[in-house]
Amino acid sequence: MEKILEVKDLEVSFQTYGGSVKAVRGVSFDLHKGETLAIVGESGSGKSVTSQTIMKLIPMPPGQITGGKILFNGDDIVPKTDKEMEKIRGKEISMIFQDPMTSLNPTMKIGYQIMEGLIKHQNMSKQAAKQRAVELLSLVGIPMPEKRVNQYPHEFSGGMRQRAMIAIALAANPKLLIADEPTTALDVTIQAQILELMKDLQSKMDTSIIFITHDLGVVANVADRVAVMYAGQIVEMGTVDEIFYDPRHPYTWGLLASMPSVDNDDNQDLAAIPGTPPDLTNPPKGDAFAARNKYALAIDFEEEPPMYQISETHFAKTWLLHPDAPQVEPPDAVKKRIRQLSSTFKTPVLVKEDK
């Protein structure tokens, strides 16, 4: 499959009075055409910063890309100027934000907010753009689009606003769509509708999607592949089946075990992950997750674990996969879901860094 995006060893930091915060610490991933990659992690894990860096939306300064490459269609976008980025944003890569209340302009009609991109990127006339805006609104399932196009955001409900946001993002047929928690502010019933809409549009337009969320239920619904982020690094990455049925990293175990499942016994305590994420001004030595990890080995506090490969598509960054590591049992809630996947290698292979 054709690679549309390659992120290589991306490092982003923010200069603050308290020192430099290393928000993203060496993130690498690929994205294929028509694929959905979900990035999961808690707040502060660097998932939003990673995606905003791809669009170069982080304020610089205080933000700074301190290393790595972002190849979009083979072209590195890190050295690009703001002027050059304007040609990419909205046209090649667009974004749906979490909060539809604050990301639409309250003083502009919905129709005009959709037309903006069309007029700028596709040199459409005003009339043609308006025509297209009406089409887009009906595409995202808004009834009476001819009337809605002339309304302001406050006349839309939350779910409708998020649909309008999607229409804006899709206006110029982007190759890559970044959705940063697009359904977190919505009700479950509306969330299900929006997710169905996004999947439907993706199959029609063959867009690649980076879907950022902390809801593992949503991930299971939309993703082809999943990257789990912790403290600015990807700690585990694999296809959706590999992450949910054969997770290898203790942090992924923790996330899966801390969610109540509908058919679970309610008398047991949830397996919460103790503590809070580390301060990234001074990332801890060794494995950043070690302090919260009951499976931590002595080496976790000394040396950062390397990436191990478990199958063609499955990677995990933990010392537990080292041949000398002790055998550990994942939490009960995780053991219940584990299945043997045919694509798994016999033993995990250390990924050699090409430097």
CB of 250 to other proteins, least distance (A): 12
Tell me whether residue 77 or residue 257 sits nearer to other proteins (CB atom).
257
Cα separation, 229 vs 317, whole angstroms? 11
CB of 239 to other proteins, least distance (A): 9
Tell me whether residue 80 or residue 214 sits nearer to other proteins (CB atom).
214
Cα separation, 19 vs 32, whole angstroms? 37
111: amino acid identity, one letter: G
Other beta carbons within 10 angstroms of residue 112's beta carbon come to 17
CB of 217 to other proteins, least distance (A): 3
CB of 153 to other proteins, least distance (A): 17
Binding test (CB under 8 A) with other proteins, winner from 337, 343, 344, 349? 337
Backbone angles phi, psi at 211, to 5 degrees: -110, 115
Binding of residue 143 to other proteins (CB under 8 A): no
**Binding span for other proteins by CB under 8 A among 97-105, 108-116, 239-247, 293-301:** 239-247
CB of 45 to other proteins, least distance (A): 9
Q: What is the 3-state secondary structure (H, E, C) of the chain?
A: CCEEEEEEEEEEEEEECCEEEEEEEEEEEEEECCCEEEEECCCCCCHHHHHHHHCCCCCCCCEEEEEEEEEECCEECCCCCHHHHHHHECCCEEEECCCCCCCCCCCCCHHHHHHHHHHHHHCCCHHHHHHHHHHHHHHCCCCCHHHHCCCCHHHCCHHHHHHHHHHHHHCCCCCEEEEECCCCCCCHHHHHHHHHHHHHHHHHHCCEEEEEECCHHHHHHHCCEEEEEECCEEEEEEEHHHHHHCCCCHHHHHHHHCCCCCCCCCCCCCCCCCCCCCCCCCCCCCCCCHHHCCCCCHHHHCCCCCCEECCCCCEECCHHHCCCCCCCCCCHHHHCCCCCCCCCCCCCEECCCCC
CB of 121 to other proteins, least distance (A): 34
Closest CA to 236 of 10, 51, 27: 27
CB of 88 to other proteins, least distance (A): 32
Tell me whether residue 122 or residue 258 sits nearer to other proteins (CB atom).
258
Contact set for other proteins, span 171-230 (CB under 8 A):
187-192, 195-196, 214-221
Closest CA to 70 of 7, 13, 23: 7
Tell me whether residue 53 or residue 221 sits nearer to other proteins (CB atom).
221
Tell me whether residue 57 or residue 271 sits nearer to other proteins (CB atom).
271
| Contact string 244-283 vs other proteins (x = CB under 8 A) | xx--------xxx-xxxxx-x-x--xxxxxx-x-------
Tell me whether residue 118 or residue 186 sits nearer to other proteins (CB atom).
186
CB of 46 to other proteins, least distance (A): 14
Tell me whether residue 133 or residue 228 sits nearer to other proteins (CB atom).
228
CB of 42 to other proteins, least distance (A): 4
Contact set for other proteins, span 10-69 (CB under 8 A):
42-43
Tell me whether residue 70 or residue 186 sits nearer to other proteins (CB atom).
186
Residues that bind other proteins (rule: CB under 8 A) add up to a total of 41
In the complex, which residues of this chain contact other proteins (CB under 8 A)?
Answer: 42-43, 158, 187-192, 195-196, 214-221, 240-241, 244-245, 254-256, 258-262, 264, 266, 269-274, 276, 337
